[in-house]
Amino acid sequence: MELSVGQFVPPFDEATASAFERRGSLYAPEWHTCAENVARIDIFNLASVNEFLEYATRLENLLDDTSRIQDKKFRQLPWYVYNVWLPFDFEPTPQPEISDGHWPVPLLSSHRLLSELNEIQRLSDLGLGNLPTGYEVMRSNPKEFYRSKIKLDNTTLMQWIWRGLHGAAELSIANSVPVLAAE
């Protein structure tokens, strides 16, 4: 899953603007013209992200696999194939508000994602917030990173995904740009 921090590409830009209009809110005009590529952060694949989501679920003591996303404490996490975070604080709707044409896409808050990640860090004993092996190489030189064939244990994987989500949310807020998570 890649976290793209910066201007959306179609259909996400138009769909997000329409969802804001339905809410009676204004989609910030600068999001149409903001930097296209503030950052690209790799948090591996959906299976890896799923491991992190399962870990977060255990931390919040929702071990029942039948619980619905909207009932979870950590609702700002990437529970869908596509996720959109916007750089302001708002409550997401219970159901995803937009679609890429096939998949539901929730509109989420970068501010609330940071709060949830900080709570996960507080509850965790995995050293979330530590710089995982290879992370700086992935951020500075992705080609070199992929050639390195690095192997990660489960703890390092959790640290990596936490750091990637946290970094994307921080960049979103600092640059007033959206984030798109996509597989």
Alpha helices in 87-175 (DSSP H): 110-123, 135-140, 142-147, 154-175
Q: Report domain extents, the chain.
A: 2-142+154-182
Evaluate whether 150 touches 134 at the Cβ level (below 8 Å).
yes
First to last CA, the chain: 4
What does the pLDDT look like over 117-165, one tens digit per residue?
999 999 999 999 999 888 888 888 878 887 887 788 999 999 999 999 9
Q: What is the CA radius of gyration of the chain?
A: 16
1 exposure class (CB count in 10 Å sphere: 0-12, 13-18, 19+): buried
Structure tokens at 35: 């930097």
Distance separating alpha carbons of residues 162 and 167, to the nearest angstrom:
8
Distance separating alpha carbons of residues 163 and 41, to the nearest angstrom:
10
Quote the pLDDT of residue 69: 58
For the cut 70, the answer to whether the pLDDT of residue 68 exceeds it is no
